[in-house]
Structure 1
Amino acid sequence: MGKKTSVSDLAAPARRWLVSGKIVRRTHLVLAHGAGAGMESAFLEHLSGLLDERDITVHRFEFPYMAARSTGGSRRPAPRAETLVDDYRTALSEVRSEIGRTAQLFAGGKSMGGRIACLAADRDPAVAGIVVLGFPLVPPRKPGSSRADVIEGLLRPALIVQGTRDAFGGREAFGRLHLPPQVEMLWIEDGDHDLKPRKASGLTHDAALAIAADGIARFCSRGIS
Structure 2
Amino acid sequence: MTDLLWNRAEEPSALLVLAHGAGAPMDSDFMNAMAEALTDQGVSVVRFEFPYMARRRQEQRKFPPNRAPQLLAHFRDVLTALPDDNLPVWIGGKSMGGRMASLLAAEADCPSICGVVALGYPFHPPGKPEKTRTDHLPNLTVPMLICQGERDPFGKPQEVAGYGLPPAIHLHWLPHGDHDFRPLKRSGLEQTDLIGGAAFRAALFIREKTTAQ
Q: TM-score, normalised by structure 2?
A: 0.92
Aligned partners of 1:165 and 1:139: how far apart in 2?
14
| SS of 2:52 mapped into structure 1 | helix
- Pick from 36, 47, 72: which aligns with 1:85? 72
| Identical pairs, percent | 38
What is the rounded CA distance, in whole Å, between the counterparts of 2:98 and 2:132 in structure 1?
Answer: 15
Q: Which residue of 1 aligns with 2:84?
A: 99
Alpha-carbon distance in 1 for matches of 2:203, 2:13: 12
Residue number in structure 2 paired with 1:160 = 146
Deviations 1:33-57 (A, max 9, x none): 0000010110010010011111111
* Matched-pair contact (CA < 8 Å) for 1:130–1:158: yes
Flag the structure with more relative contact order, 1 or 2, with Cα contacts below 8 A and sequence separation at least 6. 2
1:188 is the counterpart of 2:180: no
Distance 1:125 1:88, change over 3 A: closer
Name the CA distance, whole Å, in 2 between partners of 1:213 and 1:107.
14
Q: Supply the AA of the counterpart residue of 2:90.
A: F
Q: Could you tell me which runs of 5 or more consecutive residues in structure 1 were left unpaired when the two chains were aligned.
A: 1-13
Structure 1 stretches of at least 4 aligned residues deviating more than 2 Å after TM superposition: 22-26, 121-125, 141-144, 150-155
SS of 1:19's partner is: strand
The 2-side partners of 1:74 and 1:82 are apart by 23
CA-atom RMSD in angstroms? 1.8
Structure 2 residue 68 is matched with structure 1 residue 121? no
Q: Distance in 2 between matches of 1:151 and 1:158?
A: 9
The alpha-carbon deviation at position 82 of structure 1 amounts to: 1.2
Contact map agreement 1:135 1:169 (CA 8 A) in 2: yes
Q: Deviations over 1:29-86 (max 9, x none)?
A: 0000000001011001001001111111100000010001112254220121111111
Residue identity matched to 1:107:
I
The TM-score with structure 1 as length reference comes to 0.87
The alpha carbon displacement at 1:205 in A equals 1.0
Q: How many residues align?
A: 209
Structure 1 residue 150 displacement after superposition: 3.1
How much has 1:152 moved relative to structure 2? 3.8
* Counterpart position of 2:163: 177
Paired residues of 2:14 and 2:206 also in contact (CA < 8 A): yes
Question: Which region of structure 1 is more displaced relative to structure 2, 139-148 or 68-77?
Answer: 139-148
